[in-house]
Amino acid sequence: MSEFLNVILLGIIEGITEFLPISSTGHLLVAEHWLGARSDTFNVVIQAGAILAVALIYRHRLWELLVNFGKAENRDYALKLGVAFAITAIGGFIVTKLGFKLPERVTPIAWAFVIGGFWMIAAEHFAAKLPDDSRITWKVAILVGLAQIVAAIFPGTSRSAATIFIAMLAGTSNRAAATEFAFLVGIPTMFAASGYQLFKSLKAGGGHEDWSALALGFIVSAIVAFAAVKWLLGYIRTHRFTPFALYRIVLGAALLLLMPGA
């Protein structure tokens, strides 16, 4: 398969998986075992393409928060988004300084798929017993920020799965409300991560990076993610997340059986 098609395929994978609760980073790292390894900059920055799509989908909500910041409910919501992002940014900075790198082996990712799948089933089961509540509390904001750090440290966990379900268990039991907060906090988080990776790459000279491939992956990811998120937001109104959990468990188990030493 040509380099051009490889990049398009990786962009499609990223666009589909970034906001579905199945882990985009995990899927990218597994796919790269067959399509060729990519830099951390490529893997992080093409995620910003998917984030751009979400920013466009939520543009009216973002505009409302911005222009009507003076309203108590908007100010409260925006500040909670800011706190969740700040916790993630500080935690991510510390993890980076400690020398964290994405895993090169499939096994830990496969285990994260499996464990995350069972976690999703259990979390939704217990969240369903809670009264329907769309409020975002400070507790939810803090835990969502921490959940993003955990997802970054353990590829395969899924940032969207970790944040949505921790929000639901912490009190925002309404799936749509938990999903919206998780998606909105992902916008500054992933743009900041992409900006940091680009800064590091450019500071190092940037000569090792395939910028045309990165740009193509970014564009493809954005287009595909727009369609995927539109579909997901409609799906969760009337469906549970169980099919995604089962997919994770089956995929993780298959990787452990078929690629035990990878």
Question: Which of 77, 57, 71 has the alpha carbon at shortest distance from 231?
Answer: 57
Question: Residues 55-72: what's their mean pLDDT?
Answer: 94
Predicted pLDDT at 143: 97
Q: pTM of the predicted model, to two decimals?
A: 0.89
Does residue 252 carry a pLDDT above 60? yes
Does residue 249 carry a pLDDT above 80? yes
What confidence category does residue 195 fall into, taking pLDDT thresholds of 50, 70 and 90?
Answer: confident
Question: Which of 12, 254, 258, 262 has the alpha carbon at shortest distance from 117?
Answer: 254
Predicted pLDDT at 179: 93
Predicted pLDDT at 102: 75
Rounded-to-integer distance, Cα 195 and Cα 220, Å: 19
Residue bearing tokens 């994260």: 112
Predicted pLDDT at 63: 96
Spell out a b/e string for 214-241, using b for 16 or more CB atoms within 10 Å of the CB, else e.
Answer: bebbbbbbbbbbbebbeebbeebeeebb
Predicted pLDDT at 141: 97
The pLDDT mean for the chain works out to 91
**DSSP labels, the chain:** --HHHHHHHHHHHHHHHTTTTT-HHHHHHHHHHHH----HHHHHHHHHHHHHHHHHHTHHHHHHHHHTTTSHHHHHHHHHHHHHHHHHHHHHHHHHHTT----S-SHHHHHHHHHHHHHHHHHHHHHTTSPP-----HHHHHHHHHHHHHHHHSTTS-HHHHHHHHHHHTT---HHHHHHHHHHHHHHHHHHHHHHHHHHHHHTTSTTS-HHHHHHHHHHHHHHHHHHHHHHHHHTTT--SHHHHHHHHHHHHHHHHH-TT-
Predicted pLDDT at 7: 92
**pLDDT tens across 64-102, in order?**
999 999 999 999 999 999 999 999 999 998 988 888 877
Does residue 19 carry a pLDDT above 70? yes
Any idea where the domains of the chain sit in the sequence? 3-258
Rounded-to-integer distance, Cα 134 and Cα 172, Å: 5
**pLDDT tens across 34-48, in order?**
888 888 888 888 988
Give percent of the chain above pLDDT 90. 66
**pLDDT tens across 196-212, in order?**
888 888 887 766 788 89
Give percent of the chain above pLDDT 70. 98
Predicted pLDDT at 262: 66
